[in-house]
Amino acid sequence: MDHLQEKYSQIIKTQAKNLGFDFCGIAKAGFLEEEAPKLDAWLNQNYQGEMSYMANHFDKRLDPTKLVDGAKTVVSLVYNYFPKKELFQEDKAYKIAKYAYGQDYHHVIKDKLKVLLENLRLEIGEIGGRAFVDSAPVMERQWAQKSGLGWLGKNSLLLNKKMGSFFFLAELVIDLEIAPDPPILKDYCGTCTKCIDACPTEAIVQPGVVDGSKCISYLTIELKENIPAAFKGKMENWVFGCDICQDVCPWNRFSKPHQEPLFDPKSELEKMTNRDWEEITEETFSKVFSKSAVKRTKYNGFLRNIDFQK
C-alpha cells in the first residue's frame, strides 16, 4: 500500500475526529455490484411507496463516480445524535424521533463536511469532491459497511459495535486516492429478531428488507396524502418518524449521549404535552420547529399525524 495513501487516511481521520465525528471509514469508489439486483428487486416490489426519487438516478445511486467527476474514494462518517434524555416518555404521549429533537442534521453536518473538505485542502492540496448528507442518491449504509464502520442490521440500518445505530451518516466523495479500510463482512445480529418482532406495522418484511410504504417514518413524513386506514391503531403515537426498531435493538445499549449542543431540544419542545400538540397553531409550530427537520411534514402534515392517533 502506498505510504502517501496511508498518510492521507490518517489526516482525514484526525480532521474528522477534531470536528466531532465519531468514526470515519474509507472505501474505493466504484460500482456497487452486489447492491444492483437488491435495489432493483426492492423497487420492483414498490417498497419505496411514494418516494419516487428512490427510483431516479439508478446508475448514480450505485456508482458515485457518476456523481463526482474523477471520484476515487468514498469517505464515510458517523455523527452521534443519541439524546441526553428521552422526551415524550409518558404513556400515550405523542412522540417524535430522537434525530429530530434538535436542529436539522442536514445543515449541521453539511457545515462540518464543508470545513472538513476545506481543512483537507489546506493540509493535502487541491482536492475535488462533494459532500453528501442524506441529500443525493448515495447508498450511504452500504458505503459505510464497505469502509468498516458497521454492518447492516435486520432493520436495514447500519449497526456499529461501539455505539449501536443512533447516528447520522455522511459522505465525502473525492478524487484523491486513499488507503481503504477493510469492510465488515460478518453479521453480528445473529439470530436476534427483536426489531422485526417489535415493528407494529410489520414493515420489516425479511431480514434487511424494509417495505418503506409500511414504515411509520414514511407514513408520518414522506407520505403526503392521508395515512391509509389499515394503519389505524398501529402507529403507537409516533407523529414524526419512529425509533421502535432502534429502541429494541440490543446493540443500542452501547449508545452514549451526543456532545452536539445544536442537537439539544429547545425548552419549548421539552414542555409540550399532548394537549399542546393537539392545539398547536401554525405560529407555535414554526417557532418550536424553526430549524428542525420536523418542518418537512409542514404544519398540516403534522396535524394529520396527530389526528390519526386519536
| Catalytic site positions | 134
Dist. CA 283–CA 184, nearest whole Å: 47
Which residues make Cβ contacts (< 8 Å) with residue 106, sequence separation at least 6?
Answer: 133, 134, 135, 293
Q: Are 279 and 306 in contact (CB under 8 A)?
A: no
Q: Are 30 and 180 in contact (CB under 8 A)?
A: no
Length of the chain: 310
Dist. CA 310–CA 35, nearest whole Å: 40
Dist. CA 295–CA 282, nearest whole Å: 11
CA 231 to each of CA 88, 207, 309, 310: distance values in angstroms, whole numbers, following the listed order: 21, 22, 10, 12
Residue with cell 464515510: 76
